[in-house]
A = this chain, B = another copy of it.
Amino acid sequence: MTLHVYLSGEIHTDWREEIANGAEGLPVTFSAPVTDHGASDDCGVAILGAEDDKYWHDHKGAMINAIRTRRGIEEADIVVVRFGDKYKQWNAAFDAGYAAALGKSLIILQPPEHDHALKEVDAAALAVARTPDQVVAVLRYVLNGSLPG
């Protein structure tokens, strides 16, 4: 058994690297959105031409990013969605809903202070983790049945 894992959500800390490092040696492939904030915001106009209106500037970029996001979620067995401390993070919750509707196994990675606000999202998940290490431990257990410690 191999696992394809899509790592959605927060892009300002190195949680994706922590998970990838922790999972080294396991038969897991990872994918993720473009995590360069500037490139992600401007890709639409940088590639397809400038827009006067900020709304359409953003829109063109969001559409191109959707090509990658949908591809990543659709080929994934597991979608991990990380909620951090800052920003609205509605795209993270959107990805969680999208993944849930496709029947993907969902793991939410979030600090306890968001428990109440995320209760509907968590209710669709198969695991709610607090640290990247816990996500790695879930992956390891799912793949070979071994528990930490």
Most buried by B among A3, A116, A134: A116
Number of identical protomers? 8
Q: How far is the CA of A25 from the CA of B70 in the complex (A)?
A: 23
A12 adjacent to chain B (CB < 8 Å): no
| Interface range on chain A (Cβ under 8 Å from partner) | 35 or more
Residue of B nearest to A83 (CB): B90
Q: Chain B's nearest CB lies how many Å from the CB of A86?
A: 11
| Contact B122–A66 (Cβ < 8 Å) | no
A62 adjacent to chain B (CB < 8 Å): yes
> What are the residues of chain B within 8 A of A147 when measuring CB–CB?
39, 42-43, 46-47
| Contact A58–B116 (Cβ < 8 Å) | yes
Q: How far is the CA of A76 from the CA of B145 in the complex (A)?
A: 19
- Among B52, B66, B116, the residue within 8 A (CB) of A124 is B66
